[in-house]
Amino acid sequence: MSQPLQISADTAIKLSKQLGIPIEHLMHMPKHILLQKLGELAKAEAEANTAASSPSEDEASGDKPL
């Protein structure tokens, strides 16, 4: 059986909330699965930030309202 992850209680609580996983499941999750989920979370956040900061269609095409 795998050992619990070596992370602090504060980190476990934050990850549990961000990933939507009970702390008990998080602490016994294999490291490679946790890294995969963290990668997916980071990718989703990056896409959200990119979408929020991208210019609107009018600004991107160079058209200005008359």
pLDDT digits (tens, 9 = 90+) for 5-63: 888 999 999 999 999 999 999 999 999 999 999 999 999 989 988 888 876 555 555 66
Is 24 inside any structural domain? yes
Q: Model's pTM, two decimal places?
A: 0.64
Contacts of range 24-32, beta carbons closer than 8 Å, 24 or more positions apart: 28/2, 28/4, 29/5, 30/2, 31/5
The answer to whether 58 touches 65, Cβ cutoff 8 Å, is yes
Domain ranges, residue 37: 9-51
Is 14 inside any structural domain? yes
Question: What integer pLDDT is reported at residue 37 of this predicted model?
Answer: 92
- Residue that wins the pLDDT comparison between 2 and 52: 52
Which tokens in the block code for residue 30?
A: 């294999």
Count how many domains the chain has: 1
